[in-house]
Amino acid sequence: MFTDSIFNIRYFYETERQSDPGEEMGVLCIKDEPSLQTLISSAQNDLVVLHFSAAWAPQCKQMNDVMEELSKDSQYANVKFAQLEAEDVPEISEKYEITAVPTFIFIKNKSQIDRIDGAKAADLTKKVKLLCSGQTQVPLPAEDKKPTQDLNTRLKNLINSASVMLFMKGDPDQPRCGFSRQITQLLKERGIKFNSFDILQDEEVRQGLKTYSNWPTYPQLYANGELIGGLDIVKELVESGELEAQLPKQTSLEDRLKALINKSDVMLFMKGDPNAPRCGFSKQTTAILADTGVKYDTFDILMDEEVRQGLKKYSNWPTYPQLYVKGELIGGLDIIMELKESGSLESVLKGQWCVISEAEEKKCLDLKKVAASMFTNKVPSYEVIPIIDCVLGKDMYDCMKKIQDNDADIMALDTGQAYFGGRYYNMMPILAEKYSLVTDDADPDIGMRYYSVAVAKRGSQFNVFQLQDKRACFPGVGTAAGWLYPIGVFVKNNGQTNIMKVTECNAIVKTATDFFKSMCLPGALTSFYNPFGNNPARICELCSGFLEKKCSTDDPFAGYDGAFKCMSSDAGDVAFLRHDTVSLMAMNSTYRPENYELLCPNGMRVPVTEYLSCNYGSIPSNTVMTSSLKTKSEVAVYKNFLLKAVEWFGPSGQYKSQFDMFNSQPWGYFDRKNLLFTDSTQTLVDVGEKNTYYSWVDNDFYDIMENLNACPLITARLCVISKQEKAKCEMMMMAFNAKDLRPSLDCIKGTGADHCMKLISRGDADMMMLDPGDVYLAGKKYGLEPFVVEDYGNMNASVHVVAVARKRDHYMTLFNLKKKRACLPGIGRGDGWIIPMNIFIETEQFIPQHCTLFENLGQLFIHSCIPGAMDKDYNPNQKPVSLCEGCAAGGFRKCQRTSEDQYYSASGAFRCLVEKGGDIAFVKHLTVRDNTDGRRQSFWARNRRSDDYELMCKDGRRTNIDDWENCHLGQIPASAMVTAKYKSEQDRVIFWQLLNYGQQFFSSDIEGDFHLFDSGNWYNDLIFSDDAVRLMRLPKSMQDYRNYLGQDFINKVENLHKYTCVPVKPSASSQSSLSLLLAASIFIFKMLL
């Protein structure tokens, strides 16, 4: 193929030279990937310009002419110009993210360096010239240096600079036109306070505001950022007595200043605006803020003398600019520059600590207050303390999401919960808790670990092997010592038997629920652990919170202290805790450690002091975490602040009396412990090079996580029938792995649907998605059974087949199709073969004889596209070429019964109609809507209107596409996932759970790069139908192809057999696979004996 590509390119070069001896090369025509790679490789350091075009787009031809002229210019002799038909090379188009034509891609040294989208001849010429000279960016013309967006931002700021804003000629004291004089007089007479802007002083504002407001004259009056109108409108409002009602209520200067200061999280009072600063200090300040990327609002104090003078007194700061964060004054330019030089500015502007309970919020707010007092009273000017803010999240996962979305910055996390922060929310540890001040050079991690233990009251008569049906108290789902480690040990096979048997893959919470009689597991109702909302109520039965606090992180029985109280109050029989929880609870209370014992993994019971020999694992200490996208300077500020806080407020801190950092008693509602930090913490230490979560935890932690993901099946093998489906399946596999879904998905590629059916029946694959026509074949021929079906939004696992034609072909009905052209989704399919063929016979479009169906069809239509019509599995005897003439693909891909041919499937058949490959298309009732009116972004569908097409009814009528309930050809079952008959009910449940969890994470309405029911812009219906909205599990009674398809549909299928002469006999593999499996099992059993 490589040699052929070289020949093709050489042939084109020679043809071009012969046609025009004066031309060096001309524009090449690239038709496949090898040819493109040959061109790019041969170019070496020369520039390559690729034009992705479409024959139907006139602008592409114009741009081809431009490229032809450029190729003739001697200064571009070394530039390689090439043109590609975007729709003919979908893989290449997808690789370069081509979404519209024309698009130009510029390549140098085998790498893309630039692109132009659209028919822009001048830009193309400039770009080629500049890239040839070694530059990589086209300079903007002078008139473009101030984009409209910047002007609009300036106008918006001006309009909102005062609650009542007047744009006029002159100023209120010296109006420069009669209209401006009259409106100012009206406002003054009514005591209305307003600010003004003289549009004669700024031509850009004068002209720009007319467009922005869509109001052509001046003056213009605004209230709260909304246009009231000009003089005539104001006069009408005065006459009707409605003017005051339209304007905001007049407030005191102090209230107005408060509102302005809190208008935005970051607020700058300056002279001028960021686009046109009116003094050097303001200009420097806006430049510094621009470098941070922080969003901020401004107020021009030159526009309001009252604010200018009033803010000086209000803030006790005599100069401008003034910067405020969260309503707190930071200072002027000198303070801002000092913060920048120390690397602290960004963190000061947006430092936010996320907390998960009211008690934590109260402690955090006190930390904020004392930190602010240190900043103003005790801290030297060179020590910068960020003004932190406290953000209350619903739970730890909500806080992780806030940090990911940049709505919060830092939080302290239990080691187990921090795993999910690192893996799923892109967080990293920056500081770690240390529980002892002892140091040892031989063991640098001394004091940096804690242990997981199970605690019960002394005298209770059970051990760890007798926990089934006991009442369990947990500190919270996802906590390391209180959930991950003990449950991970319980589900692990210890060589004899598991303490806890996995009852549902990907749902360890439900496995625990099935094991214990009742529980208090705070956080188990969050969407992270309860994606379907069906976790049993008994997971929260023991919790003691009221209303929305029950079973939340604010429940009195939440946290390690809460789990201990749950057990000690006899609500539960066992609690899973940290090793230091009992001693911590015994401080300043009536609890006595000797009244409790540890349950050891080996079945023993020992005193709580013997945790070193009786635990479920040693765990790295808890950490303070932030987003891994934070800059080094931001991370340094967080570290410096917290380490300084330990120095001031830690166990030996000189200001401990003002704020006790590692003590929760002052803020602990219901005697809560471990608020913000673990109460047994002695200090915080830098994590150093272990600043990723994967390097912070150890191998034992990953072993525990692997145990929690245990599933009886190791892999689920999905069979696909084309390389495009294989690519989607591999993306699906990676997406599922990223969510830790089990069993692991594997992708098996068959040569076609029949081959995949055979693989499944032999045990070489597990499942595949099939059209109802193929479900019949799979059941009849290979004994496969459906167990999961698609739902298209109607909840009944069915779809209607319709006949669609262009509206302008109004003369055509279902009764005059002779010599027309037809587009069918595929041979053997329910929508594209079984229903249409029965309709043709029913309406006597032809009267088939024995084995003449294909010949009759070829005579009815002048030509067609019926993917698979030449496939020997479906048509072994007759080969009428006309049945494939209308298909779009070339070469071996043409007319394949897979996505290799663009016209395969219902969407493909509609595309065939759109691109005039046929006059009629047989599709699903959803197909037209899903591919028109902007719902699909592919080339062929992008500009299509649904009202350009009509349905053709069995009674000869034509009607609009939404009337499919009264105008359809038949109803068929939905596409279904099938598996082998011998697969156990447990295996089928596991396959379903994998797919069900997958659709929860990757359905089409979820943000992300992968969607289960989407095939991208170039292909249709890969694995699943693009029309599907979800998958549904079939009840056991329907997991037989005959029961699922129904007798009516089966009759239609078998009615065609006498006309196609394609026998459907049970395969030997389907008859013998079960017996072979049983025989193998018996043989293995005997060998073991």
Find the mean pLDDT for residues 295-311.
87
Nearest residue to 914 via CA among 964, 890, 958, 948? 948
Distance separating alpha carbons of residues 770 and 763, to the nearest angstrom: 18
Determine the length of the chain.
1089
Distance separating alpha carbons of residues 588 and 664, to the nearest angstrom: 13
Place of tokens 């935890």: 697
pTM attached to this predicted model: 0.67
76 versus 18: the higher-pLDDT residue is 76
Say which DSSP state 866 is in: -
429 Cβ contact list (under 8 Å, min separation 6): 418, 422, 623, 624, 625, 687, 690, 691, 692, 693, 696
- pLDDT of 607 > 60? The answer is yes
Place of tokens 């330990």: 646
The pair phi, psi for residue 414, each rounded to 5°, is: -60, 145
Q: Which CATH fold would you assign to the domain 344-444+623-692? A: D-Maltodextrin-Binding Protein; domain 2 (3.40.190)
935 versus 980: the higher-pLDDT residue is 980
- Same CATH fold, 449-620 and 148-250? no
- pLDDT of 591 > 90? The answer is no
Q: What would the pLDDT profile of 140-184 be if each residue is shown by its tens digit? A: 333 344 444 478 888 888 888 788 899 999 889 889 888 999 999
- CATH 3.40.30.10 at 148-250, yes or no: yes
Q: What would the pLDDT profile of 643-672 be if each residue is shown by its tens digit? A: 988 988 999 888 898 999 999 888 866 678
pLDDT value, residue 1072: 52
363 versus 13: the higher-pLDDT residue is 363
- The answer to whether the CB of 911 falls within 8 A of the CB of 940 is yes
Q: Which CATH class is domain 798-973?
A: alpha beta
Q: What would the pLDDT profile of 993-1045 be if each residue is shown by its tens digit? A: 999 999 988 886 667 788 899 888 888 889 999 889 999 999 999 999 999 99
Q: What would the pLDDT profile of 337-382 be if each residue is shown by its tens digit? A: 887 776 667 666 667 899 988 889 999 999 888 877 765 555 554 4
Say which DSSP state 890 is in: -
Distance separating alpha carbons of residues 469 and 476, to the nearest angstrom: 20
Catalogue the long-range contacts made by 392-395 (C-beta closer than 8 Å, 24 or more residues apart): 392/354, 392/355, 392/356, 392/358, 392/361, 393/354, 393/355, 393/356, 394/356, 394/526, 394/552, 395/356, 395/523, 395/526, 395/552, 395/553
CA neighbours closer than 13 Å in the CB half-sphere of residue 849: 1
pLDDT value, residue 5: 40
pLDDT value, residue 20: 39
Neighbours of 143 (CB within 10 A): 6
pLDDT value, residue 588: 66
- pLDDT of 675 > 80? The answer is yes
- The answer to whether the CB of 478 falls within 8 A of the CB of 416 is yes
Q: Please report, for the chain, the start and end positions of each structural domain, with discontinuous segments joined by +.
A: 2-139, 148-250, 251-341, 344-444+623-692, 449-620, 715-794+975-1070, 798-973
Q: Which CATH fold would you assign to the domain 2-139? A: Glutaredoxin (3.40.30)
Neighbours of 99 (CB within 10 A): 16
Nearest residue to 1000 via CA among 787, 745, 736? 736
Question: What spatial distance separates the first Cα and last Cα of the chain, rounded to whole Å?
Answer: 57
Q: Is 866 exposed, middle or buried (0-12, 13-18, 19+ CB in 10 A)?
A: buried
pLDDT value, residue 407: 86
31 Cβ contact list (under 8 Å, min separation 6): 8, 84, 85, 88, 89
Find the mean pLDDT for residues 267-278.
90
Q: How confident is the model at residue 1070 (pLDDT cuts 50, 70, 90)?
A: low
Token pair for 441: 């050079």
- The answer to whether the CB of 72 falls within 8 A of the CB of 15 is no
Q: What would the pLDDT profile of 837-852 be if each residue is shown by its tens digit? A: 998 888 888 888 888 8
Q: Which CATH fold would you assign to the domain 449-620? A: D-Maltodextrin-Binding Protein; domain 2 (3.40.190)
713 Cβ contact list (under 8 Å, min separation 6): 505, 742, 743, 987, 990
- The answer to whether the CB of 324 falls within 8 A of the CB of 266 is yes
pLDDT value, residue 18: 38
Q: What would the pLDDT profile of 92-115 be if each residue is shown by its tens digit? A: 888 888 877 889 999 988 888 888
**SS3 of residue 691 by DSSP:** coil
pLDDT value, residue 873: 78
- CATH 3.40.30.10 at 251-341, yes or no: yes
Distance separating alpha carbons of residues 816 and 809, to the nearest angstrom: 12
Lowest mean pLDDT, pick from 18-32, 209-223, 684-698, 719-733: 18-32
CA neighbours closer than 13 Å in the CB half-sphere of residue 1046: 11
Do β-strands 976-979 and 920-924 pair in parallel, antiparallel, or remain unpaired?
unpaired
Lowest mean pLDDT, pick from 19-23, 299-303, 775-779, 992-996: 19-23
**SS3 of residue 769 by DSSP:** strand
> Residues 416, 419, 420, 421: is their CA dihedral positive or negative?
positive
Place of tokens 């209520």: 249
The CATH superfamily of 715-794+975-1070 is Periplasmic binding protein-like II (3.40.190.10)
